[in-house]
Structure 1
């Protein structure tokens, strides 16, 4: 969610329940809290607002990840195959 929402990974809080991850953070600029749910299937990531729809329609970006050399790449693929890739050191 840090990558998708353009936030620092240091403010993200995560808890796992069954097969879902629940992610939250408080935005520094206005102290607003955001809550999301995440499903991971292989290297694919699906997300939704805590009480919203899963972002899995043909109009939503596709999110995948790759782990390599103690780093994690989050890859958002948009229409027309444009991509945004964010890299994180594992553990950050």
Structure 2
């Protein structure tokens, strides 16, 4: 009987834990919640990449990661209130992105997005297949 009770309690505990984990997985957090004092983390870099690619301010971005490898970036467009979600994953200093349910931007005609930290600033660059590029710099204070 004692073993049955222990098994039941263990099972209930696992269900409660998994329920909380599932709720946390659906919750987007402001990027400042993940901030590292000295450098930039994947949440901040993902937010900066989508802000750069979409031409939006980085401080409206919300970021979550379920598995630590794919980062979902959501923002509400101020002009019309529509909500947009993109995804990012890392390959060294390259950041591959796509829309939430769309393809990853890895086609040879797609822009290649990379990042680096220079003099304490995060620099995101998107290079296009025609050789042109755009870059945007971010400071830690931009993520608040």
Structure 1 length normalisation: TM-score?
Answer: 0.95
Q: 1:14 aligns with which of 63, 69, 87?
A: 63
Give the match's secondary structure for 1:58.
coil
In structure 1, the residue matched to 2:53 is 4
In structure 2, the residue matched to 1:85 is 135
In structure 2, the residue matched to 1:63 is 113
For 1:17 and 1:41, locate their aligned partners in 2 and report how far apart those are by CA, in whole Å.
18
Q: How many residue pairs get matched? A: 92
For 1:82 and 1:38, locate their aligned partners in 2 and report how far apart those are by CA, in whole Å.
22
For 2:109 and 2:115, locate their aligned partners in 1 and report how far apart those are by CA, in whole Å.
19
Unaligned runs of 5+ in 2: 1-49
Higher strand share: 1
Instruction: Indicate the structure (1 or 2) with the bigger Cα radius of gyration.
Output: 2
Runs of 4+ in 1 over 3 A off after TM superposition: none
**1:18-33 alignment runs, 5 A limit:** 18=67, 19-33=69-83
**1:21-60 alignment runs, 5 A limit:** 21-60=71-110
- Per-residue deviation, 1:4: 0.5
Unaligned runs of 5+ in 1: none
Higher helix share: 2
For 1:90 and 1:77, locate their aligned partners in 2 and report how far apart those are by CA, in whole Å.
24
For 1:61 and 1:43, locate their aligned partners in 2 and report how far apart those are by CA, in whole Å.
14
RMSD: 1.0
